[in-house]
Amino acid sequence: MKYECMEITDYEQVIDLWKEINGLKIRDADSFEGIKKYLLRNPGLSFVAKDEDKIVGTIMSGHDGKR
């Protein structure tokens, strides 16, 4: 298992993983453009866990500039 900063190129695998999670809602903010803006606004704070080349986990973190 390896961990890497999430990049927008991970988007398709991340969305596919999220769709498999029972009870997790994908919102408009989770669109390609929404996630791209989020990653640009919060560089180096979101990660993916990979088993070989398959994404098996995500951590998304951000801030609003005040905290």
* pLDDT score of 63: 87
CATH topology of domain 2-59: Aminopeptidase (3.40.630)
Q: What is the pTM of this model?
A: 0.89
Chain mean position to CA 8:
8
Question: pLDDT for 32-50, tens place per residue?
Answer: 999 999 999 999 999 999 9
Nearest-angstrom CA–CA distance, 24 and 18: 7
* Per-residue pLDDT, 67: 59
* Residue boundaries of the structural domains of the chain: 2-59
- Per-run averaged pLDDT (10 residues), the chain, 67 residues: 97 98 95 97 96 96 79
